[in-house]
Amino acid sequence: MSRKANVIKVIIAQMPVGHNKEATVAHTLGEVRKAAKANPTAKLAILPESFNCPYGPEHFRKYSESVPNGPTCKALSNLAKELKIYIIGGSIMELDDNKVYNTSTIWGPSGEFIGRHRKIHLFAVDIRKENLGGCTFSEFTELTAGKDITTFEIEGRKFGVGVCHDIRFDELAKIYRMEGTEAMIYPAAFCVCQGPMHLKMLQQARAIDNGMFVGTVCCARDPTPEYVAWGHSMIVDPWGQTIAEAGEKEEVMMVDFDFTKVDEFRKQIPIFNQRRTDLYSLVYKKN
């Protein structure tokens, strides 16, 4: 059995999203290229949710493309191969059999397509909070939900992928943990209403509950559209400590995922050795 990496260096790319898909993709991947060349030991780059499409139901089908053969996928594949890194390609709108999915694609260092995660829990809220502006939004009008979990490994360390609203569902993170996942990544576009209220707390909860790294990689803030993203991409370690946080504007961060923290947490607080699956099954039967 090969030795697991202790530290994996990760590029976090909080990028703006424009209406010109080709230009947006070129800018985002150009910034990743700069960061990777300045940090040649980086193993993974992560992009935001809907990174090539303005976030709104009226845009989803128009900007959708096939996976893994569409133009954005080809650009991600080529960059992964060029830089010899893994890429979690945020998410794009995937068109398949006339259905549109909010899909994160994962690419290997030879440019190979190694997985996709179709957002399982579609985003639907009606928040009325005057001091934060409120938010009414639904993906259900245009998107179809996925149903599968998605994991992959880098140097013996297992990563899991969700998309934005998936982070609110603790049972999903628990399933990933039971599959051996050590870091959960959620490309995201939290709005300016729910972002300051819940984003950090949700990451801390998922991290501490499961003894893993939890990261959200978000869109940079643009105040002009109806839906305004919060920004503040963030990485939380297994102990619930924030180890990196972006501001609201375009920003690229280099973050070390020190997996010895995962090993230490799970050894020192072995909560998964005490799971009462009989009680869990009883609860689910009742609900």
Catalytic residue among 49, 65, 142, 182: 49
164 is catalytic: yes
Tell me the per-residue pLDDT of 83-98, one tens digit each, with 9 for 90 and over: 999 999 999 999 999 9
Element (H, E) at 25: helix 21-38
187 beta partners: 217
Tell me the per-residue pLDDT of 15-67, one tens digit each, with 9 for 90 and over: 999 999 999 999 999 999 999 999 999 999 999 999 999 988 899 999 999 99
Question: Checking DSSP bridges between strand 242-245 and strand 183-188, what pairing results, if any?
Answer: unpaired
In a domain, residue 46? The reply is yes
Tell me the per-residue pLDDT of 106-146, one tens digit each, with 9 for 90 and over: 999 999 999 999 999 997 666 665 555 556 666 869 999 99
In a domain, residue 251? The reply is yes
In a domain, residue 1? The reply is no
For residue 159, give the CATH number of its domain: 3.60.110.10
Tell me the per-residue pLDDT of 163-185, one tens digit each, with 9 for 90 and over: 999 999 999 999 999 999 999 99
In a domain, residue 205? The reply is yes
Catalytic residue among 119, 135, 191, 248: 119
Query: With bands split at pLDDT 50, 70 and 90, how would you rate the model's confidence at 287?
Result: very low
Question: Checking DSSP bridges between strand 7-14 and strand 251-258, what pairing results, if any?
Answer: antiparallel
In the structure encoding, which two tokens stand for residue 256, read together? Answer: 């070390």
For residue 114, count CB atoms less than 10 angstroms from its CB and return exposed for 0-12, middle for 13-18, buried for 19 or more: middle
193 is catalytic: no
Q: How far apart are CA 94 and CA 63, in angstroms?
A: 9
In a domain, residue 101? The reply is yes
Q: C-alpha distances in angstroms, 159 versus 32, 93, 139, 215? A: 20, 22, 26, 11
Sequence-separated (6 or more) residues with CB below 8 Å from residue 106: 86, 87, 88, 89, 113, 114, 115, 116, 117, 150, 152, 161
DSSP state of 121: S
49 is catalytic: yes
In a domain, residue 2? The reply is no
The number of folded domains in the chain is 1
In a domain, residue 17? The reply is yes
In a domain, residue 278? The reply is yes
Catalytic residue among 135, 164, 193, 218: 164
Q: Whole domain around residue 158: which residue ranges?
A: 7-286
